[in-house]
Structure 1
Amino acid sequence: MTTTAITGIGVATPNGLGTDEFWAATLRGESGIGTVRRFDVSGYPSRLGGEVDGFEPADHLPGRLIPQTDRMTQLALAASDWALADARLEPGTYDPSEMGVATAGAFGGFEYGQRELDKLWTEGPEHVSVYMSFAWFYAVNTGQISIRQSMRGPAGVVVGDQAGGLDAVAQARRNIRKGTRLVLSGGVDSSFCPYGWVSRMSAGTLSTGDDPRTAYLPFDVRARGHVPGEGGAILVVEDAAAARARGARLYGEIAGYAATFDAASRHGGAPGLRRAVETALADARVAAADVGVVFADGSGTPDDDRVEAETIADVFGRGAVPVTVPKTMTGRMSSGGAPADLACALLAMRDGLVPPTINVRTVAAGPRIDLVIGEPRPWRPGPALVIARGRYGFNSAMVLRPVPAETAKTERDH
């Protein structure tokens, strides 16, 4: 069966623009969370967020694109450029019809939409931008990336809140197995405007703390919700043999994936997270004992954290595998959170270092999970599991592992 590899990474997060800056800050335990500055949050109960600083669209995009695009799309386009540059893809390597795009979206261009609706009500319809017709849409990142990069193969978008980023990369893997040569995939979200903020608050899971050091504490006894973030990651997903043939670096293989959905508790439904994890391991043909690290979802709400900790302990054994939540440095980035975790897992494989979970002091799960706290932990790179969970019951799990050199050679020879 075709081995699907990741050959390029582009990251835009609150603690770093670009892969190198992001990874260095993550290993240092450097947080990008603070009081939101893009609009006045003083009247809201939740005031902290992870904002991407230092990103000037004009530095990365042609002027004609800027008035057409929401901030989330501008970040996604820049991250796509960085991912392709990292993959060292020469022009003409693949035909445009052999390359596709699969992204996740949770909100769409809320900031753009709110601005244009304000114009509609205060100035009249003739002042509303014609680009409003698509700039707000949750599928717009896929469309704009495919146009900018001349990728005319399979294209799509999935919506699964925080879990959607893994689902999009899984869709990319399916398309590679069907014959597509390369897919840009992942997710980038941004909804830091009053409309987006109220939408996030409606879930009742945002932290109301004002101290960035204590507002988002997954698995901690003090956990009382999460801090939202913006940004995410775009990854280059490629057929491993074809990538090796062109001399590409392979960060790792997408070895296994699964998704489940929690039935409503009022109907006797049980959490489906364990089934997602076990099915992803089975798909990868990886034993639980061989997994070297788990990048947890880390909801930050006691009930969700308990379910996830119990799942990890039941599948891997009590305290048997290192667990980390690097998104404590960025906030939860909706559809961008899981792709950023995938990037972390791949970089951890490259460097032999598990990034830390910051600010957590007392783990509520006790000895059930071995949470990597405070500083990076050395490890012998091997399979890594990334877990993502979305609002209303989405569960996704993905297994990554290093790509043996002989695997790609064997496939190429055949």
Structure 2
Amino acid sequence: MTAAVVTGLGVVSPNGLGAEGFWTATLKGHSGIAEISRFDTTGSAARLAGEVTDFDPAEHLSNRLLPQTDPSTRFALAAADWALADAGADLAELADYDMGVVTSNAFGGFEFTHREFAKLWTRGPKHVSVYESFAWFYAVNTGQISIKHKLRGPSKALVAEQAGGLDALGHARRAIRDGARLVVTGGMDSALEPWGWAAQVSGGRVSPHGYLPFDRSASGHVPGEGGALLVLEEAASARRRGVTRVYGEIAGHASTFDPPPGSSRPPALRRAIELALTDAGVASDDVDVVLADGAGVAELDRQEAAALRDVFGERAVPVTVPKALTGRLMSGGGPLDVVAALLCLRDGVIPPTAATHDVPDDYGIDLVLGSPRYARLSTALVLARGKWGFNAAAVVRAGDR
């Protein structure tokens, strides 16, 4: 069966720009979480977030694109550039209809559209940017990347909250199997402005104290912004164009949806894991590390721990939550975890789950804590869960050593 391999990585993260910058910070335990600096949070129930503070859009986007893009789209365009450059892709060598874009976005252009709403209310409709017609839209990142790089093949935009980024990778893998040669894929989000912040805090899962996934004291998560875009290619096509370094393969993917509240049926995360492993053709014993969703909400953490125990056995596989250093990035979180998984496999090291110290014994998971753990790694499982019942799982296999 056609293999979809990862040949390029592009990262915009609260704790580092670029894949290597993010990875170095992650292994060193450098956090991108701090008090919000962009607006006054006085009176807010929470003040901590993973902000991207070292990204100057004028350094990465043309003067033509700057006035028509939201921060999430600016991040996406830069990450796509970096991923394509990392892949060494000369797009002129490939037919435009053989290349596509599949991205996920959970918020749309929150900051852009709320700025334009303020103009509408205070100055009138003539002052609203014409770009508001698309800059707010969930599909805008796919569209802008497609236009800039002339990628006219199979393209999609998905919305599934935190699970959406993994689903984007799954759809891109399907496009590769259906004949596409190259797909830019992943997720990117940003909603760290007053309205976006209010929307997130009102959801009831944002912690005022910090993000402690699987900790006894877990009280919610910390929101963040950013994400990752990857270049997926058909393996034989990549070899023909001379690719000498492959990060790994997206070997399996599955998504499920939880039953409604009050149902007697169990959560569907375990089913997503089992389907992804089957899709990849691997057994549970083959998985060397799990990059967990790590909601930071006691009930959800307990559910995820139970799913891992049911599939792998008690404390049978190392588990980590790198996003404890960045916050939950919505659609960007899953792809960023896939980048972390690929680099775990490449370097034979599992980063610890920052800040978590006290994991309840009955969770029965081997959560990596304190310092990086070195091991021989070849297969990773990445999990993501979105509010209202979305579950996604991806199996990642190592590439060239």
Match of 1:378 among 355, 369, 374: 374
**How far 1:19 sits from its partner (Å)?**
1.0
- Which whole-Å deviations, capped at 9, do the CAs of 1:207-255 have from their partners, x for residues lacking one? 022xxxxx10000000000000000000001101111222222111111
**How far 1:270 sits from its partner (Å)?**
1.9
Task: Give the letter aligned to residue 263 of structure 2.
Answer: H
Match of 2:365 among 369, 392, 396: 369
Task: Give the letter aligned to residue 52 of structure 1.
Answer: V
Partner of 1:350: 346
- Which whole-Å deviations, capped at 9, do the CAs of 1:140-174 have from their partners, x for residues lacking one? 00000101111011111111000000000000001
Counterparts of 1:163 and 1:48 in 2: how far apart (Å)?
22
Partner of 1:195: 195
**How far 1:193 sits from its partner (Å)?**
1.1
Partner of 1:392: 388
CA contact (8 A) 1:356 1:376 kept: yes
Match of 1:232 among 227, 238, 244: 227
CA contact (8 A) 1:257 1:283 kept: yes
Counterparts of 2:118 and 2:322 in 1: how far apart (Å)?
37
CA contact (8 A) 2:302 2:363 kept: no
CA contact (8 A) 2:10 2:229 kept: yes
The alpha-carbon distance between structure 1 residues 365 and 159, as it changes in their structure 2 partners (threshold 3 A), is farther
**How far 1:265 sits from its partner (Å)?**
2.4
Counterparts of 1:194 and 1:399 in 2: how far apart (Å)?
37
Partner of 2:86: 86
Counterparts of 2:371 and 2:325 in 1: how far apart (Å)?
13
Partner of 2:292: 296
Matched, 1:285 2:284: no
CA contact (8 A) 2:246 2:400 kept: no
CA contact (8 A) 2:103 2:142 kept: yes
Partner of 1:143: 143
Partner of 1:73: 73
Counterparts of 2:187 and 2:91 in 1: how far apart (Å)?
24
CA contact (8 A) 1:6 1:237 kept: yes
**How far 1:91 sits from its partner (Å)?**
3.7
- Which whole-Å deviations, capped at 9, do the CAs of 1:343-379 have from their partners, x for residues lacking one? 0000111111111110111112556100111221111
Partner of 1:409: none
TM-score, with structure 1 as normaliser: 0.95
Match of 1:261 among 257, 263, 278: 257
Aligned residues: 400
SS in 2 for 1:401: strand
Partner of 1:337: 333
SS in 2 for 1:241: helix
**How far 1:107 sits from its partner (Å)?**
0.4
Which structure 1 segments of 5+ residues have no match?
210-214, 406-414
CA contact (8 A) 1:219 1:365 kept: no
Counterparts of 1:127 and 1:152 in 2: how far apart (Å)?
33
Match of 1:402 among 384, 393, 398: 398
Report matched runs for 1:193-232 at 5 Å. Answer: 193-209=193-209, 215-232=210-227
Report matched runs for 1:152-167 at 5 Å. Answer: 152-167=152-167
Partner of 1:38: 38
SS in 2 for 1:12: strand
SS in 1 for 2:20: helix
- Please give the root-mean-square deviation of Cα atoms over the aligned residues, in Å: 1.1
Counterparts of 2:158 and 2:264 in 1: how far apart (Å)?
27
Counterparts of 1:69 and 1:331 in 2: how far apart (Å)?
23
**How far 1:42 sits from its partner (Å)?**
1.5
- Which whole-Å deviations, capped at 9, do the CAs of 1:299-342 have from their partners, x for residues lacking one? 00000000000111111111110000000000000000000000
Task: Give the letter aligned to residue 200 of structure 1.
Answer: Q
CA contact (8 A) 1:306 1:365 kept: no
TM-score, with structure 2 as normaliser: 0.98
Partner of 1:270: 266
The percentage of aligned residue pairs carrying the same residue is: 57
